[in-house]
Structure 1
């Protein structure tokens, strides 16, 4: 059981720690200290839900449905391209890391952005549902459950660490120049993922 648990945790960690749209968004909210715990919790619960779906054996339905994959890829690319543009525009504005600035969003906006960054990115499904689900299928029922728990634990620990760590570091990074760099990196990550999604559909 411990082997399956450790395997799920290790693989889940290796997939989730990679730079992506979710991580960039959680990092940004943590640095703003703006509903960052809520954002991290939503991302972790969403991952847990998708991992459960994959472990239950539904990953094959997603990978075998090209129309669904294409719709998600185009929708995700459009959303990430738009969000990246907002980050680049923000890079040239005068703002700092506080909640008084127009850069802030309402709780409802943050909730919708978190769900969009999570569920409009096909890579999330490929990693959690298809890949983790496919590997989990190699185990018997009980070890498969421990594998899923390990992968879910990695999500909760990582997003919690990212949000709380960024919030802790925000007073040391509360300079306009630092935030401009962060906006630039966020926009670059969003556009890179959007480009990869579109390239996959056009090739």
Structure 2
């Protein structure tokens, strides 16, 4: 159970760390809102959407491949290749925040935008179904539940922490160097997770 929790923590943290459109939006709303409480709509929406995607991925993918070894192995291989690819893209990516720069959204707009970039984002879907869902195939019973819960908790903690980081760091980090370092760390975690999945085969 401990190994499932550690695996879930490292995997979820590595996947959620890159500052794509969803995370950039949370980060910038934290920086632009006059008070931190005003960024809660986007934080809660993004967290709930990730909870939904992770739950569907773990239970849905598990149900599809239950007892079918070749599908399980195929999905694990796809997850490994996807992690290697995303690690490469993340390592090469440059921080950009033009999509949401300087705009403090109203609560209704925060919810609508956060839901759209969470549920309609191909990368978010691939992260959850292609990586978290397939990684959950290595566990059964209570270990699978623990793995899923830890992934969800990491998501919630990240979005709350990201909004706070935006509040205190966003206005100071004009160069984007902080975001660049985060992407490098995330790429290394993704590659490490890919090798872990290779051994799980």
TM range (shorter): 0.5 to 0.7
Q: Aligned residue for 1:119?
A: 119
Return the match for 2:98 from 77, 84, 87.
87
Q: Structure 2 unaligned segments of length 5 or more: list them.
A: 66-74, 76-95, 180-201
Q: Aligned residue for 1:80?
A: none
Check if 1:165 corresponds to 2:181.
no
Q: Aligned residue for 1:194?
A: none
Q: Aligned residue for 2:46?
A: 43
Deviations 1:156-197 (A, max 9, x none): 111111101211335x549xxx4xx67xx9xxxxxxxxxxxx
Q: Aligned residue for 2:88?
A: none
| Equivalent runs, 1:1-16 vs 2, <5 Å | 1-16=1-16
Q: Aligned residue for 2:109?
A: 109
- RMSD after superposition: 2.9
Partners of 1:118 and 1:131 in 2: CA distance: 16
Secondary structure of 1:104 counterpart:
coil
Contact 1:9–1:152 (Cα < 8 Å) also in 2: no
Deviations 1:65-110 (A, max 9, x none): xxxxxxxxxxxxxxxxxxx9x937x87xxxxx6xxxxx43322112
Once the two structures are TM-superposed, the CA of residue 143 in structure 1 deviates from its matched residue by 0.3
Q: Aligned residue for 2:20?
A: 20
Partners of 2:149 and 2:156 in 1: CA distance: 11
Instruction: Count the aligned residue pairs.
Output: 144
Partners of 1:121 and 1:139 in 2: CA distance: 27
Once the two structures are TM-superposed, the CA of residue 129 in structure 1 deviates from its matched residue by 2.1
Once the two structures are TM-superposed, the CA of residue 32 in structure 1 deviates from its matched residue by 0.8
| Equivalent runs, 1:42-61 vs 2, <5 Å | 42-58=45-61
Q: Structure 1 unaligned segments of length 5 or more: list them.
A: 65-83, 92-96, 98-102, 186-203
Contact 2:29–2:104 (Cα < 8 Å) also in 1: no
Q: Name the stretch that deviates more: 40-49 or 22-31.
A: 40-49
| Equivalent runs, 1:148-163 vs 2, <5 Å | 148-163=148-163
